Structure 1
C-alpha cells in the first residue's frame, strides 16, 4: 500500500502565502472554528465559546498588568521606608535596591496536608524546634517544612508567627526562607555564602560573591538592600542594632562594625576579637578576644562605638574557639563552651560580675544555637543532636542540664530556634 505523504507535507520552497498571523486574524479564526464545532443550531442565549475564551485571556492579561503595577508601587514605598532606616546606600546606586520574592517562586507544600496542625507528632517545648522536617512551635502546633532540605539555623521574627530559616550550605550556596504559619515557605535569598540574623529577626546580613549585603524584613519582603565590596575572607558575624558586625578575616582575629549608608566597608582598629556571642541591652557586645600575650582566648565586653575596644575581660575560663554560646534576653547570663580544670563543657557565666565570678559547669558542650525560653531557662543542642535544658538557679546550685525537653532522637537533627514568641 502506498503511504507516501502529499507534496504539501514536505515543502522544499517557501509557501506562497505569508505565515505571519495577526492577533485579529487569530481571534477570527478561533471564533469561526469553535462556532463550527458548536453546530448551526444553538439554543437562544447560548454563550459564544470563542468570545468567552478571548475575553478570559484579555482579563488574565489585565489582572497581570494590574498586579505588576501594584507590586511595583508597594516595592517603591517599602524601599523608601527601609532606606530611611539605613540612611542611604553604600557602594551601590543612589536609588534603593528592593528584593522582592516572586509569589510564583515560593515553595509549594509537597503533600496535601494542611501546613500547620494542632496534633499529630507535635513536640511541646518551651522554645521553637525544627525536627525532622517540621517546625514545632511553642504554641503546640506544627508547620511542615517538607521540600526545604536540611536546615542549619533559624530565627523567630519578634512579635509574629514567622521565622527566618537558613538552609545548609550547598554547591549553589545557602537559601533563606521566610516561613509563616499558614503560608507556603517563601524564598528570600538564594546563593548566599553565609547568613546572620538580628536577634529580633528584623534584619538580615549575608555574603554574596565579592560583596556583603544587609536588608530589613518588612512584612514578607527584604527591602532597602545595602551592598559593599568586601575582602575575600570577610563574613558577617552578628548585629548591633541595624549595624553589622563583620569578621574581617575568618582565619584571624578582628571584627569591624559596618554601618550601612556611611561609606565603604573598612577595617577597624580591632585585631583581637575572635567570636561574638551576643549583645547586651545597653549595646555592648559580648565576645571572645585574644589575650595580650596571644596564648589564650578571654571573655570580654566590647564597646562598638570605639572599634570594639574591650571594656572588661575575664580569662579565668579557657574558651573554645568554636564561638558557640548565647546571651540571655536580659543580658545577665552567658552560656558558652569552655574548659576549666581539664573539664570541657558548657559553662554559665554571670556577665554582671565579669572578672570576679567563677564560671559554673552547666552541661555538655553546645553544638548549635542556644534558645532562651526566659532569662532563667534555655534549651540547646549538645553532642550529636541531643536536646538539653537547664535553669540558671539549678546550675548555680550545682545541677546539670537535663535531657527532658522532648522525646527527640539525635538522628532527627533538631535545631533550636532563638527568638521571642508572638
Structure 2
C-alpha cells in the first residue's frame, strides 16, 4: 500500500481514466514509426518503443517531466517541421479531449508552447495555437466545464452580457468563445443568496424581498441563473444603519425591541422602519453582540406604533386573525373577500397580501351578514330546513354552500329577514 506522503501532488487532481491514459500515452516513443499500433494494441509493455518508467515519471515530476517529453517530441533545437508538430499535437488532443479532467494536461501544454512562441510553426486558431484570441478566449464547451453549467447556459449568459466574449460562424455552425478574464470574474463574484442575506440580517426571506423592492438591497443574476444579493449592497445597508444608531451597552429598556422583531407588531415592515431610521425620523440604538445585525439594532415600540398611526393607513388583519374573530375556517376568508363581504388589498395576481383584510370590514361583518348555521340556531331548526325555506322563498345566498369544498352559505341579513 502506498503511503499518503509518497503520492505525487498531481495525482489528487487526476481522474482515474485520465491517469491511465496518460501513463500509457507518455510511455510510448512519440517518434516510433509504429506509434499508432503500439498505443492501440496495449498487448505488451516490453516493446522497444515503450518505456513504462517514462509514463510514471510524468506523475512523479509534474509538470517538469511533461515539459521534458514535449521537448523530445517537439525538438526545436534541431528544427521541428510543421507536419511533425501537428501530428504529435493532434495525437495528444484526440487522445485526451474526451476524457474528464484533461484541461489540466492541456493547460500545461499550452504554457510550454507559449514559452516557445515563434519557434513552433502552428497556424493561428489551432487547438494549441498561440494567437492572441487563443490566449484570451476559451471555447463555450470548456467554459461550461469551468463553471460547471450546461453549454446552453454559457450562450445565454453571453447573450445577456453576464459573460464577455465573441461569436463567429464556422460553416453552418455558430461558435461562441468566452473571455477568460470574464470567467474568472464571474466565478468569483461577491454575491450572497437571499437565504444567506436573511441569516446575516436576522430576518425572514420575505422581508429581504421587501428590502430589495424598496431599493435597500440590489439583486444580480448569478452564473447559475439565480437572483443573488450583491455583497456591496449588504455591506452598505449594514454600515449605513449602524452609523446612524446611538451606541448602547445594553437593551434594558422595556420599551425597545430589535428591528428584526418589528413585524410582530401588526402591519409593520422592516423596510419601512429602516427607511425611517436612515432618514432620522425615529431613533435607533446599537447594542454590539454576536448576533445578526438587525438583532443588534433596537427601536422604541412607541416610535414604531406612532409611525404607523402617522402614516394614516387603515388597520388590517391577517387571514388567520380574521378567521379567529369571525369564528370561521381559514379557507372561508378569501371566499368572503372575493364575494365582497370583506374588504382587503389584493396583489396583482389576485391573491391576498399579508395582513391586508381591513379591520373595519371585519367588525361590520356580523351587522350585514349571517351564516346558515347562525340562522338555524336562531330559528331552532336544522340547516337543511333553512336552505329549503330560502329556496322556496327565492332568496339567493351571497356565497353558495358546497359540502365538497367545505364552504358554508353566507346570507345578507337584510334579505334573510323575509323568510323568518
TM-score above 0.5: no
Please tell me whether Structure 1 or Structure 2 has the larger radius of gyration of its CA atoms: 2
State the TM-score, normalizing by the size of structure 1. 0.28
More helix by share: 2
More strand by share: 1
